[in-house]
Amino acid sequence: MADPPVEGSISQDRGGFSTLYDFSTKREPQFPPVRDIYIKHVVCYYIVVTANNLKPDKARKPGVQTENNPGTRWCCSVSSVPLPEPERSISCIRAGIDHSGVSEGLSASSRAATCRRNMLRVRAAVSQVRRGFRMFPCAAVEVKNEPILGFMEGSAERKELLKALDSLKGRTEEIPCVVGDERVWTKDIRYQLSPFNHSHKVAKFCYADKELINKAILASVSARKEWDLKPVQDRAQILFKAADVISGPKRAEILAKTMIGQGKTVIQAEIDAAAELIDFFRFNAKHAIELEKQQPLNAEGSTNTMLYRGLEGFVAAVAPFNFTAIGGNLAGTPALMGNVVLWKPSDTAMSASYAVYNVLRDCGLPPNIIQFLPADGPVFGDTVTSSQHLAGINFTGSVPTFKRLWKQVAQNLDTYRTFPRLAGECGGKNFHFVHKSADIESVVKGTIRSAFEYGGQKCSACSRMYVPDSIWPQIKQQLLDIHRHITVGDPVEDFSTFFSAVIDDKSFARIKRWLDRTKSSPSLRVIAGGHCDDTKGYFVEPTIIETTDPQDAIMNEEIFGPVLSVYVYPENEYKEVLQLIDNTSPYALTGAVYAQDKKVVEEAAKALRNAAGNYYVNDKSTGSIVAQQPFGGARASGTNDKPGGRHYVLRWTSPQVVKETQVPLTDWRLC
């Protein structure tokens, strides 16, 4: 019988630290029990706790209690070295903190606050070998959402960002395709233009052709087995380190490239390219490590182990322009789970995407695990879907593109060695439903932010609003009052800019067509904005349109720009409007209900149960946070795999169950 857990602490009394041990037991009786350790500081890649060869006569210092000798205290040593091979060493993963220059972590009192902030809770465990896998069962890894910096006048982060922005002015970055360690240039040269100043060529890059894509596939597949056999802690370490680097020395650079290349304001870039990207890396690494705790039951005489393998083949990651973080997640999460990835970044997010890729490589990602392949969409899609090695597609983009990929996969099913996994997020026609009991100020300010932050180019942006006639005059007036103060311009020259230009000429032309249509439609009326100008950048005014036809195309088709459509309904017909919202659009991504009446809130939740994958009550439809509101929707909005949630990592694994029987079979008959 296992010993009951024993709790105790060993005070180091150095810089205010104490190392806490929470004792429990493990199956192997000859080994010390598994312990939960609160790591306050790690100098190198791993912290290794070795129980002095498990000899009781060496046990004279406070440390580890053995299962067979609960009164015996074992002498432990802690060293900051790479993971060793001794059979009975008790190992735990590095905490993801890089404090180079501090050789005695616990003795540096000046580092106490830093170490406390970065504390990770991990489980030390005896390594288990199952069919070539070294398993390190882990307890919960404690990480928190990255704080959003304010970039106030005189702040250190503002100074660093201004320096980074200044270094990019007028500069054109050269970005090759990357296959393994080889930087490859093809003859098909393209340029990324700054949305708010399209005379500035932000990046010069080249498209991979079919031959290069196939070369990348073969190189990836050849590297897959070795990568998949690495313990998940080793792979997670790369993402932890990358998150630390983005949080620190590379933050300003990636933000600056997101602002200039994708037209984001400083706060929108900070939310995306810093906070969300860091959160994706840290929380996905945490979830991947903790996944190994999910093990099947054992029976007397046998043990069962679940191995979380990567998929057999490669994963194609197809990224959008609107979030730097999404590209990093689409490629990074499958790689974390033991997969090899072909990352096709967006043409209009090339500079920031390449910066993220380089961070991953600099933090230890081996060559051929993620191939960086700018490419023409159809060429990339045709090539990867025709490869026998395709194991998955991780996609964010338009519905037509995702449908095309899905159909190509279906047509090529007989080609593949396995059924490919397809995960896709395809946008939405997101709603704000307003009841007469709603708080008007919350409605107005939430709708302005949801509809117009980043020029309405968020997948979750509100683009249709339903308001009762009894409170529409108040809401309308307050919307117009705020609208007059919205600034649209250059986010680099003016940090107070509310939003900047839309991403490119194609987006500008599409939105302009909608505005032209509105001006000629008898059921549509522009009540604010409606103008656009592409002389210097692709600028579109924030536009509010009132419609008398709730079935008009503007209420059900995605525009992906700063355009809000409003339908005013008779206040007593709110139940019919709820049904209208559910049935009008093919999308089901995000939506919000504003009501103080609890009965109405309950009615709306039932009526709109399938109308949104992310559903908000008295809050705007944008602003999901990793680990708090995992994101995604169904219907035409995608496969609703909820990146940002703990189960997302499971999507990119192919689990294997191993049963090991210790008792010989003595009879060939079942008695």
Which positions are catalytic? 425
Q: Please, are residues 521 and 550 in contact by the beta-carbon 8 Å criterion?
A: no
The Cα angle at residue 372 between residues 509 and 213, in degrees rounded to 5: 90
The tokens of 98 are what? 């890089």
Q: Please, are residues 225 and 132 in contact by the beta-carbon 8 Å criterion?
A: no
Q: Is residue 549 classed as helix, strand or coil in its secondary structure?
A: coil
Quickly list DSSP for 408-422: HHHHTGGG-SSPPEE
Pairing state of beta strands 563-569 and 462-468?
parallel
Quickly list DSSP for 366-435: PTTSEEE----HHHHHHHHHT-TTEEEEEEES-HHHHHHHHHHHHHTGGG-SSPPEEEEE----EEEEE-
Contacts of 473 (CB under 8 A, 6+ apart): none
Q: Please, are residues 122 and 94 in contact by the beta-carbon 8 Å criterion?
A: no
The closest alpha carbon to 294, from 650, 577, 664, belongs to: 650
Phi, psi of 549 (to 5 degrees): -120, 105
Q: Is residue 41 classed as helix, strand or coil in its secondary structure?
A: coil
The tokens of 28 are what? 């192997």
The closest alpha carbon to 329, from 624, 18, 20, 664, belongs to: 624
Q: Is residue 87 classed as helix, strand or coil in its secondary structure?
A: coil
Q: Is residue 382 classed as helix, strand or coil in its secondary structure?
A: helix
The closest alpha carbon to 256, from 168, 192, 175, 194, belongs to: 168
Q: Look up residue 125 and give its amino acid.
A: A
Q: Which residues pair with 130 in a beta bridge?
A: 133
The tokens of 135 are what? 């398993």
The tokens of 381 are what? 């899609």
Helix (H) or strand (E) holding 454: none
CB atoms within 10 A of CB 460: 25
CB atoms within 10 A of CB 542: 23
Contacts of 321 (CB under 8 A, 6+ apart): 262, 346, 347, 348, 349, 503
CA distance 8 to 83: 26
CA distances, 524 to each of 17, 434, 514 (Å) = 66, 20, 11
> Would you give the DSSP letter of residue 86?
-
